[in-house]
Structures are given as structure tokens and as C-alpha cells.
Amino acid sequence: MNQMLQDPQADITQADTVQTHPPGSAPQPETGATEPVPSHPRFAKPQRVAFVQSSWHREVVAECRIAFLDAIEARHIARDRVDIFEVPGSFEIPLHAQLLAKTRRYTAIVAAGLVVDGGIYRHEFVADTVIKALMDVQLRTEVPVFSAVLTPQQFHETQPHIEFFRKHFAVKGIEVAEACANTLLSLERLRSQVAAGIV
């Protein structure tokens, strides 16, 4: 079921979408006017990111992707420079991340998934295994890999829980975009210094 989604929002219903604003502006709650948001540094070279998401609880995980795309665009990586891939579950993410990293097409890979199951040991084991495998991928390939693979202690198939985790994944999407952009900037500077013999 490895599938690259050509249109990142093609599988999202109206209920899945969140309100977005043009990069560089945000609404003021009282007036509705826009005010400038902090500017972010630009990259010296073009960046391309692979976003690998699990399809388990797709409507929850989609919030991470939507927020990530908005936040990464504000950090000067255009949406058309982010390729979206979907896999069945979180356990399948590391192998896909490794194959994508080995293509050398991507400067970063982001993983997103929700790991839930009946037994606490099983879902914690799966999440821990996924995180360790993603760390191995980035150390082997020197392509940074970021994780928004989450394991809630308690998850119930009820609307309040689903809504809570949808909001939580939106926050995680912004956080992982920030981590991704900042790391890519840091690596760009470091590699430039290494090439110049400074470090």
C-alpha cells in the first residue's frame, strides 16, 4: 500500500481541514487584520522533504501533515518540494524512510503516525521500535529523519478523544516543521564549514 500522494490534500475532507493563512501573516483575534509573523532564515540550497504517514487513524494523522505543510512553507520550503507517502501503519515507516533516504533525493524525511492498540506493552513496543529504527536510518544515511509518531497512554474511539488528538497532531505538525527547518539550516552551515576546512 506504499503510495505517494500526488495531491497532499486530495484525501482530506472538509472536516479534516484547518484554517490557513498566507505565509508571512496571521489574523489578529480582535480585528481580523493581519500582522507580520517572525521571518525565518532562507536556505542557501533548495531543500526537498519526504513526509511519510501511516494510514491508521488517517483523519487524526492528517492534521499533522496539514499543519506541517503550512509551517514548512512559512520556513521557505514550498509545498511542491514536499512529497507525501502513505504506508499502512507506523511499523512500515522506517523501511520506507530508509529507501527514500538512499535515493539522495531528499534532504530530510518526516514520519507521522498514531500507534494505539489494546495492550500497553504492545503499542509502546511498536512505537519504541519505530523511533529507534528511524534514528538508525538517519545515522546510516546522514539524512535527518524527524518523528511525529505518537503513542498516547490512553486512546478511546470516541469523538472527544479523536478531536483531542487531532488538535494535538496539528501542534506536532508545527513543531516537527520547526525542528526540520532548523536542523536543515544547521546542517547546511555545518557542511559548508566542513567543506571550507573551518571545522
The 10s digit of each residue's pLDDT in 156-185 is 677 877 888 889 899 999 999 999 999 999
Task: Output the pLDDT for position 77.
Answer: 96
Q: Which of 79, 122, 140, 189 is catalytic?
A: 122
Is 191 a residue of the active site? Answer: no
CB 98 within 8 A of CB 140: yes
May I ask the CATH class of domain 45-195? alpha beta
In angstroms, how far apart are the furthest CA atoms of the chain?
57
Query: Which residues does 179 contact at the CB level (< 8 Å), separation at least 6?
Result: 146
- Per-residue model confidence (pLDDT) at position 163: 85
- Tens-place pLDDT, residues 78-103: 999 999 999 998 889 999 999 999 99
Q: State residue 38's pLDDT score.
A: 67
What are the structural domain ranges in the chain? 45-195
Ranges of the chain with pLDDT below 50: 1-29, 120-121
Distance CA 40, CA 29 (A): 23
Cα distance between residue 181 and residue 43, in whole Å? 9
The CA distance from 110 to 66, in Å, is 13
The β-bridge partners of 149 are 113
